[in-house]
Amino acid sequence: MPVRNIREVKIGLRAKFRRMRENMTEQKRRRLDAEIQCRLLTLREYARADTIFTYVSKPIEVDTISIIKAALVNRKRVAVPRCIPNTHEMEFYYIRSLKDLEKGSFGVLEPIAQRCGRVTDLSHGLCIVPGFSFDAQGFRLGYGKGYYDRFLSRFGGVTVGLCYSSCVQWVLPHGYYDRPVDILVTERYVRRTARSAK
């Protein structure tokens, strides 16, 4: 069935999944986040990765603060994004602790560029990708700005989407430039997509 207007449909879906997440109790969110983190940290792809690329979560997103702390304890290199002003591009910087972060674009915590080294090698590693929703094929419903779509077109490592199972759809509308993640992790299961056979 053809999608009449992919942009309109995505706007409606973002509103739907935002409401679902906002209506989740703090207790339930913490429980689901802990289960998702446990599944992520036991992935063989996580064990093999020397660098973890990850967003710094906002309250509406699956928590990555605990994941960042765990990765640092596991002696992984942790890289988080910083938006480049007046563009829809972002760069990743290595952080050594949460003290290397400051409030930046859209109120999100970003690395302090003067204190952190910029990542120049995007050929490997594991990248945790944000999204309101993911589908069975690994396509994501992002925030509509295109930051991650542009970054992922240059990234050569393994990509992982974190999502509450209630926000997963069988099929999401997607465009030509949208790239599916390799692995989808929810509190209930891990699903490897067709792309993950690397």
The tens digit of pLDDT for each residue in 64-108 reads 999 999 999 999 999 999 998 888 889 999 999 999 999 987 788
Are the beta carbons of 43 and 190 closer than 8 angstroms? yes
Nearest-angstrom CA–CA distance, 35 and 144: 27
> How much is the pTM?
0.91
Say whether pLDDT at 131 is over 70: yes
State the pLDDT at residue 196: 56
What average pLDDT does the segment 142-168 reach? Answer: 91
Mean pLDDT across the stretch 168-186?
89
Average pLDDT over residues 38-64: 96
Report, in angstroms and rounded to the nearest whole number, the Rg of the chain calculated over CA atoms: 16
Rounded Cα–Cα distance for residues 145 and 124 (Å): 24
The whole-angstrom separation of Cα 179 and Cα 124 is 17
Percentage of the chain lying above the pLDDT 70 cut: 95
**Residue carrying structure tokens 């560029």:** 113
Architecture of domain 6-193: 3-Layer(aba) Sandwich (3.40)
Q: Residues of the chain with pLDDT > 90: what percent?
A: 70
Enumerate residues 6+ apart whose C-beta is below 8 A from 44.
Answer: none
